[in-house]
Structure 1
Amino acid sequence: MDKALEKLREEGVDYQLLNYGDLMLEIAKEEKGVKDRDKMKDIKLETYRDIQKEAAYSIAEVREEIPVLVDTHCTIKKPEGYYPGLPQWVLERLQPEEILIIEALPKEIAGRREKDASRKRKKELEEAISEHQELNRAIATSYAMMVGAGVRIIKNREGKIGEAVQKVVEALK
């Protein structure tokens, strides 16, 4: 995401980029001894919710000072099933103006995950990735209805990050 943020800044879009998952991981490490992002899904749901709230408050505080672009997932696949990445209490706190879904083809996502040695993910079939994307789109629309935001879907095709960044720039200007 650093390359994308750099390209956004080159285009004159100056937002503070906050990764919701990174903030949650920091909190989980400090308060629950979680070692890495892939262990987040194993946290009890009640504790997970508390961590989500705390991260949302941190983001909202920054947002009061400067424009914020939040990098997150619409849904998180936990052992209990899919869980909203932005539950109502988070949306109410953050009040997003626009929801951008940035996605690639399931085949591309599977390939990227396979090459990512920094994570310990179970291999997912393209069909499961596609299902997750469909759910993300539906949930994003629900999020937008709750706060009166728009939804845009931006394609992040392999080797074409410049095109995706340009679409993000258009959405943010």
Structure 2
Amino acid sequence: MKVVVIAGIPGSGSTTVLNKVLEGLDYVNVNYGDIMTKIAQEEGIVEDRDSLRKLSPDVQKDIQKNAAKSIREMSQVNNIIVDTHCTIKTPAGFLPGLPKHVLDELQPDMFILIEADGEEILMRRLSDKSRTRDMEKLSDINLHQEMNRAVSMAYAVLTGATVKIIKNHDNRLEEPVEEMINTLK
């Protein structure tokens, strides 16, 4: 069975595309952060997801590794799509969402990046009243997508996985959905 990682920066529409794709494919959707939270809760060290980032780096690293191992075990009986972040933008710079110790356990077969034009992402963020997001300039949005591409290729070098970039333009949802379904078949 396959392990496919899907990622896109906030506003790219990755969740929208993924939800539509899952209507027609036999894959189990796994959110990496949810698995980490479940493991930490079972160990009695956090009450909620927001508490994860307050743990020591060593504890977080162990939880990340255990989450990857758990997902890999799930892939023995199901095709898995892991919804996560390739990079995480922090005040100190970009962090890899899937460090090497995670990739070693996860052993993904493919990375799929969902992208949109920076202007589209900016407008989606501005019109989304359900979320509170930091305001970013168009150049920041474009840089984040470039970092996702670079990190995805680095992940591919480390794992032998492929990287597929799928564009999700406004009012054309059927196109990225079809492309992703064809890629995953």
Q: TM-score, normalised by structure 1?
A: 0.82
Q: Deviation digits for residues 8-28 of structure 1, max 9, x if unmatched?
A: 433xx2100112133334556
Give the deviation of 1:84 after TM superposition: 0.8
Alpha-carbon contact 2:20-2:177 (below 8 Å) kept? no
Give the alignment of 1:1-173 within 5 angstroms.
1=15, 4-10=18-24, 13-27=25-39, 31-34=45-48, 36=50, 45-173=57-185
Aligned length: 169
Give the deviation of 1:142 after TM superposition: 0.7
- The answer for unaligned runs of 5 or more in structure 1 is none
Alpha-carbon contact 1:8-1:165 (below 8 Å) kept? no
Q: Deviation digits for residues 94-151 of structure 1, max 9, x if unmatched?
A: 1111111111112222222233344332111111111111111011001111111111
Q: Secondary structure at the match of 1:31?
A: coil
Q: Distance between the aligned counterparts of 1:79 and 1:138, measured in 2?
A: 19
Q: Secondary structure at the match of 1:18?
A: strand
Q: Distance between the aligned counterparts of 1:53 and 1:107, measured in 2?
A: 36
Distance change (3 Å), C-alpha of 1:76 and 1:142? same
Q: Distance between the aligned counterparts of 2:111 and 2:105, measured in 1?
A: 15
Q: Distance between the aligned counterparts of 1:108 and 1:41, measured in 2?
A: 30
Distance change (3 Å), C-alpha of 1:172 and 1:65? same
Q: Distance between the aligned counterparts of 1:124 and 1:45, measured in 2?
A: 28
Alpha-carbon contact 1:41-1:79 (below 8 Å) kept? no
Between Structure 1 and Structure 2, which shows a larger proportion of helix residues? 1
Q: Which has the higher contact order (CA 8 A, sep 6+)?
A: 2
**What is the aligned-residue identity percentage?**
42
Distance change (3 Å), C-alpha of 1:91 and 1:8? same
Residue identity matched to 1:97: D
Alpha-carbon contact 1:62-1:68 (below 8 Å) kept? yes
